[in-house]
Structure 1
Amino acid sequence: MAILLNNNGYDNESWRQELTRRLPELPVRVFGELVHPADIRYAMVWNHPAGDLCRYPNLRAIFSLGAGGEHFMGDDSLPEVPIVLLADPAVARDMAAHALYWVATFHRRYEDYRRQQSQKIWDRKKIGPAENFRVGIVGLGRIGTEVARRISDFGYDVSGWDRAERQVENVECYCGPQSLTDFLEINDVIINCLSLSPKTKHLLSYRVFSSMKPGSYFVSISRGAVVDDEALLDALDRGHLAGAALDVFAHEPLPRDHPYWSHSKVNVTPHMSGATFASSAAAVVAENVRKLERGDPVQPLFDRHGA
């Protein structure tokens, strides 16, 4: 029995080395190498070609090598085995750090100081204390909850919204569409942590951006297709929103002619807020393999029905 590995160009060799060290009894075969389909017991993949995973008759589970699972959506040929998402605490921590950076940047007006430096202007901007700068997290799953906790630890007033009822310590939680507007209009910055599914695609729409507090900011670190780009650009262009920091996009790499690149109120980063390192992530994956071998349950699982 063996592991099929395909991280779609993102350092397969580091993953091979780490998995071999942690699961020496399971040889690692990188996708494209000569392999007998019946030998594959586990597939560890990211953006794997649709239709391929049904070729392995002894496949027991599929592992996503990233936090999301939307790359499995639309592949009706997927075998009926568990699809395990990557829940690496190091990724969640790094995404929280990225979000905190932008919260502090907008709150403390660091971009204004960058502009002032080029003009040799010494002018201290007036700001309020952190507890008066309200931060809203849209999507209180594993990543959103970690983001909320970390930002709250720095003294910011944090609230969160999710489609389902959630409870997070020191975070005022809202749930359901009926409470979304109330949540949006009280926050100085909104951070998108929603996973992508048929129910969340373009959920952040004209109505959502228009309901945000005038002069507030938007940060997106989950999946780009949750955002209606035209709606966000409209809110920025008419001055309703003061700025945005975007790390994820519906189409990646971001097309060179996209308006975000040159927009004066938009900060673009290339999907780097939560880098996945094989050194830490392989330990999480290997532990889940051990659980499956023992017959124990594993989490989190991908919802094939897009709930």
Structure 2
Amino acid sequence: MTFLYKADPVRGAVWAERFARKMPALPFRTWPDVGDPHAVRYLAAWEPPADLANRFPNLEVLFSTGAGTDQFDLSAIPATVAVVRMVEPGIVGGMVEYVTLAVLSIHRDWRTYLDQQRAGHWQPHRVYPAAARRVGVLGLGVLGRAVLASLRGLGFDCAGWSRSPQQIDGVDCHAGPEGLPHFLARTDILVCLLPLTDDTRGILCRRLFDRLPQGATVINVGRGGHLVQRDLLQALDTGQVGQAILDVCEPEPLPRGDPLWTHPRVVLTPHVASMTQPETAADAVIDNLRRHWEGLPMSGLVDRSLGY
């Protein structure tokens, strides 16, 4: 019985040390040092190798080394293999920091003051309380809930939208297609934290932007596939969307000459909002392995019918 790691080798060295200390009885190997492929029961990867069924015929669990599994072709993964996304505190903490920073930078007019500084112009603007700013989060999973808790703590008027009904103290929750229009109409700053599925691909499009208050801000920290780029550029040009902060795009990195690189009302970061921390990520997987062996449900187990 072997655990195989196939991702960044520098992080893999931290995983190997963690497994040697906390789960020494389980052999740990790092790709491409597979050993006996028939012994591989557990695989952690960002991009698993092709032909899993024949390559590792006794594989039981495929762990994603990131928060999402949309990079997996679930149809190519045998139905007997459990698929588990990464749930660990490093991902949550990083996302809370990034989104809170992004929302505060918009709320406190940081871009305006940076532009004024470059122009040598001293001009204060009215400061509004956080309660006067309406923030809406698309996606009420672990990350969405953690972000909302942070923003609520700062006093923002918070709402959330999800596929199915949810209840969160202090958050105006909406659900399903029928709940989306009202959610958008009350949102000045929109944060996308949805999983990428067939239903959510392209959700950040002209139809959605037109339902936001004029001049609203869009923050995408989900996946690049959520955004229809040409629709965003058009909405920015008309002023329907006032500015955008994008941590993800499609493709990544953006090609040279793409208009998002130089657009004056777009902030672009290279998919850094949230990263797994190798120590806590390894600990999370070790904990899930113990749960698996004890017959308990694993944290982050993917429902294939939903895609997340």
2:66–2:275 CA contact under 8 A, matched in 1: no
Secondary structure at 2:76 match in 1: coil
Closer/same/farther in 2, CA of residues 79 and 28 from structure 1, 3 Å limit:
farther
1:62–1:84 CA contact under 8 A, matched in 2: yes
Aligned pair count reads 307
Q: Partner residue of 1:181? A: 181
Closer/same/farther in 2, CA of residues 50 and 236 from structure 1, 3 Å limit:
farther
Say yes or no: does 1:270 pair with 2:250: no
1:1-307 matches, cutoff 5 A = 1-7=1-7, 11-52=11-52, 54-307=54-307
> Cα offset for 1:236?
0.8
The root-mean-square deviation of aligned C-alpha atoms, in Å, is 1.6
Find the aligned partners of 1:163 and 1:33 in 2 and give their Cα distance. 42
Closer/same/farther in 2, CA of residues 79 and 43 from structure 1, 3 Å limit:
farther
Once the two structures are superposed, residues 119-149 of structure 1 have per-residue CA deviations (whole angstroms, 9 ceiling, x without a partner) of 3322111131100101000111111111111
Find the aligned partners of 1:209 and 1:142 in 2 and give their Cα distance. 25
Closer/same/farther in 2, CA of residues 142 and 34 from structure 1, 3 Å limit:
closer
1:7–1:45 CA contact under 8 A, matched in 2: yes
Find the aligned partners of 1:9 and 1:2 in 2 and give their Cα distance. 17
1:104 partner amino acid? L
Which segment is superposed worse, 145-154 or 16-25?
Answer: 16-25
Which ranges of structure 1 fall in alignment gaps of 5 or more residues? none
Find the aligned partners of 1:77 and 1:183 in 2 and give their Cα distance. 36
Which ranges of structure 2 fall in alignment gaps of 5 or more residues? none
2:188 partner amino acid? D
1:114 partner amino acid? L
Find the aligned partners of 1:102 and 1:57 in 2 and give their Cα distance. 45
2:84–2:301 CA contact under 8 A, matched in 1: yes
Closer/same/farther in 2, CA of residues 211 and 9 from structure 1, 3 Å limit:
farther
2:42–2:59 CA contact under 8 A, matched in 1: yes
> Cα offset for 1:267?
0.5
1:220 partner amino acid? N
1:54–1:77 CA contact under 8 A, matched in 2: no
Once the two structures are superposed, residues 147-199 of structure 1 have per-residue CA deviations (whole angstroms, 9 ceiling, x without a partner) of 11111111111100111111112111001111211111111100000000111
Q: What is the TM-score when the length of structure 2 is the normalising length?
A: 0.95
2:4–2:34 CA contact under 8 A, matched in 1: no
1:38 partner amino acid? H
Once the two structures are superposed, residues 2-57 of structure 1 have per-residue CA deviations (whole angstroms, 9 ceiling, x without a partner) of 11101156732222222333221112211211411111121111122332354222
Find the aligned partners of 1:87 and 1:261 in 2 and give their Cα distance. 31
Secondary structure at 2:190 match in 1: strand
Find the aligned partners of 2:38 and 2:271 in 1 and give their Cα distance. 36
2:44–2:65 CA contact under 8 A, matched in 1: yes
Closer/same/farther in 2, CA of residues 22 and 249 from structure 1, 3 Å limit:
farther
Q: What is the TM-score when the length of structure 1 is the normalising length?
A: 0.95
Which segment is superposed worse, 18-27 or 49-58?
Answer: 49-58
